[in-house]
Structure 1
Amino acid sequence: MMKHYILGFILAMQFLTRIPIPIECPWEKKSIRGALASFGIVGLIIGGILAIAITITDSVLPGWMIALLIVTIWVFLTGGLHLDGLMDVADAVGSNAPFSKKLEIMKDPQVGSFAVLTAIFHLTWKITFVYGVIQTDQLKPLLFFLILIPAFSRLIPLYLLYYLPVMKQEGLAYQWKKHLTGREVIIGTTIVFLFTLVFPYTLLLFFSYFVFYFFLRIWILKNFKGINGDLLGASIEGGELWGLFILSMYIWFVMG
């Protein structure tokens, strides 16, 4: 069983990041389930890389440049995969078109004005929030928040896949959902939750993601009646921005 979880972890890294891992993993039930259970671990690795980058550059570069560099690395690590999903969803929602037309818009490789505007504001807010974190006097404790934000954000797709229907009985989201069980959701959540126990003050962030999931679920069912790959990618990007917002609130109202 351990072999399948290791292969699953590698598969999750290959799918969720652009970190080169030249190992061929079989696309089969056990490795797919191992990948789903590893979503949170992949997030912890991404967050760890960001925290290391901040630590290295903190005393070398000005704050605004560090913030821009961190968000650049953030996008680079995922190859813009989730950002692409966010942009497709933005075009679909911005069109105010019927449901069937929204699906066509999300499949369209052309980028519309709503997608461009959403990407600009999304990345600008990310840079702004990261800059606010860097400017604090207690940066090191806050880095643990930053490590956890990508991890919590990658748990959101697990809950969406488990509890919501897919739009079509085809595609990547359908393949993930077909093999997902409650076991993978529990394992993925437990791994990240145990990490928060090492730094109990991050529990605030952990529970805030249940609030995010609650409202995201309502919004998805109202607008799309189900999920697809684009919505899963958008949920990760939205989750990361939500985590940075909660961290900023913590800085302003608790630490301030």
Structure 2
Amino acid sequence: MIVPETIAVAFAMFSAIPVPQPTWNEKNMRYVLCAFPLVGVVCAFAYALWAFLCASWPIPGWLQAAGYCLAPVLITGGIHLDGYADTCDALASYADAAKKQEILKDPHCGAFALIRVCSYFVAYFALCASLTMDSRTLLCLGLGFVLERALSGWAVAALPIAKNTGLVHTFATTADRTTVRRILAALAFAMCAALVIVGRIAGLAMVAAAGFVLWRYRTVAQKQFGGISGDLAGWFLQKAELWMLAALVACRVVEAGL
């Protein structure tokens, strides 16, 4: 029963998909971060289903792009986007680490959060509209959904935590951190290898983009916040998703011009 409960906890926390609600305990939370990438698998299936519907029905191109743009948010319930918005507000304050932590806890949405989120969706929509969603592209995007979550879970188990409260601290302290790091590192490596095999240069560009955002995440978290938090984890995941998509589009544009 531990494996189903662990998966249920992961989906209850990181998605808006209705699942049974087990009582969180030390056993079913020990490896919950390892189940986190399964939410990425669901995002990949959602993309595949939307692509099938778009191929079957005369859905306008802009509406197709909107579907790809919104599908991950509908599946996750916007939990990572909320962290992205809060972190953007905190970074825009240029305050010290303690003040930034206070901004992260503020339930109100600031002007910079609104500006950045609107800009994010415009960029995401434009990038989706620029792609032909063939099977290779869909597979690359699906692998990216899993990769970014494997890296996010690995970071929680590997990087310093900013404070001794919050969900990230709960997940980090209840996890078998050594085993979780090893499993998610192996999964991330497998996703990177699959991306290079499937996408070739485009896949390599997506891997490089994810690696750059992970490095940036670690640097910003340590220097400006004193460690990672749940909001910063959401910021990382959204940025990784966008930058991998941008890398894929850039490579497709170059390929089309050759």
TM-score by structure 2 length? 0.88
Instruction: State the identity %.
Output: 26
Matched, 1:25 2:22: yes
Q: Secondary structure at the match of 1:103?
A: helix
2:56 is the alignment partner of 1:56: no
The 1:112–1:235 alpha-carbon spacing in structure 2 relative to 1, beyond 3 Å, is same
Q: Which residue does 1:153 correspond to in 2? A: 148
Residue of structure 2 equivalent to 1:172: 167
Distance 1:11 1:174 in 2: 16
SS in 1 for 2:107: coil
* Deviation of 1:162 (Å): 2.3
Deviation at 1:70, TM superposition (A): 2.1
Which residue of the partner structure matches residue 186 of structure 2? 190
Q: 1:29 to 1:75 in 2, by over 3 A?
A: same
Post-superposition offset of 1:197: 5.8
Match of 1:69 among 64, 67, 70: 67
Deviates more, 1:37-46 or 1:80-89: 37-46
Cα drift, residue 156 of structure 1: 2.5
Structure 2 gap ranges (5+): none
Moved more, 7-16 or 151-160: 151-160
Q: Counterparts of 1:215-254 in structure 2 under 5 Å? A: 215-254=216-255
TM-score, L = length of structure 1: 0.89
Mapped partners of 2:232, 2:2: distance in 1: 27
Counterparts in 2 of 1:201 and 1:93: CA distance versus 1, 3 Å: same
Q: Is the 8 A contact 2:44 2:142 kept in 1?
A: yes
Deviation at 1:34, TM superposition (A): 2.8
Q: Which amino acid aligns with 2:159?
A: L
Task: List alignment gaps of at least 5 residues for structure 1.
Answer: none
SS at match of 1:173: helix
Displaced runs of 4+ in structure 1, greater than 6 A? none
- CA-based RMSD of the aligned residues comes to 2.1
Note the alpha carbon deviations across 1:80-133, whole angstroms, 9 max, x for none.
111111111111111112222111111111111100001001111111111112
Deviation at 1:210, TM superposition (A): 2.5
Contact kept, 8 Å, 2:151 with 2:184, in 1: the verdict is: no
Contact preservation (8 Å) 1:89, 1:230: yes
Match of 1:93 in 2: 91
Contact map agreement 1:9 1:38 (CA 8 A) in 2: yes
> Which stretch of structure 1 is more off in the superposition, 188-197 or 208-217?
188-197
Listed one character per residue, the Cα deviations across residues 200-244 of structure 1 (whole Å, up to 9, x for unaligned) are 224523454233212321122121120111111111111111211
- Residue pairs, 1:117-132, within 5 angstroms: 117-132=115-130
Letter in 2 for 1:183: T
In 2, Cα distance between the equivalents of 1:20 and 1:174? Answer: 25
Structure 2 partner of 1:210: 211
Distance (Å, rounded) in 2 between the aligned partners of 1:107 and 1:223: 15
1:107 aligns with 2:105: yes
1:207, 1:4 → 2: CA distance? 35
Q: Deviations over 1:15-58 (max 9, x none)?
A: 1110111x132312231133211111221111221221122114
The answer to whether the 8 A contact 1:156-1:235 is kept is no
